[in-house]
Amino acid sequence: MTIQAGEKMPEGSFGIMTENGPGAMSTDELFSGKKVVLVSVPGAFTPTCSMQHLPGFVEQAEALKAEGVDTIACTAVNDVFVMDAWGKDRGVGDSVLMLADGNGDYARALGLEMDGTGFGMGMRGQRFAIVVEDGTATHVAVEAAGQFEVSKVEAIMQAI
């Protein structure tokens, strides 16, 4: 079942790159006591994800933080090395936390996985953005297939 506004975010963990190499971050560390915008893209380095979705959140990071957002996090069903390289390539710096959902476990826990095997991408996470306050989803915006409207930064800023 797909996560809905008002529901607690499922427990899980993400891969992150640390100064000492690959590490992990639990959902409790990510969400507890914070307002977080969790953005999911079908894949790092893919056209819409790289040229529009992630850059919008990087460009508007300060505006989101001015609205009370503590953390902007971007996840994809990619490994920690890919997410780290993609973040560097897109110049995210400290504005967006790059989270690897390497096996798609968190996308599946949210009920937001998608089958990209027809495109040679395997199982992935759908394109979405969720506003989370202290571990509870307060706004869930999931894109229809092939769309990029409800999860882009402008729509999320209106929802906050």
Q: Which residues have a catalytic role annotated?
A: 49
Contact criterion met (CB below 8 Å) for 12 and 108: no
75: nearest Cα among 29, 128, 21? 128
Structure tokens at 126: 């759908």
Contact criterion met (CB below 8 Å) for 89 and 103: no
Distance CA 48, CA 43 (A): 9
Residues 6+ apart with CB under 8 A from 101: 14, 15, 40, 75, 76, 77, 78, 107, 125
Distance CA 72, CA 49 (A): 15
Contact criterion met (CB below 8 Å) for 83 and 99: yes
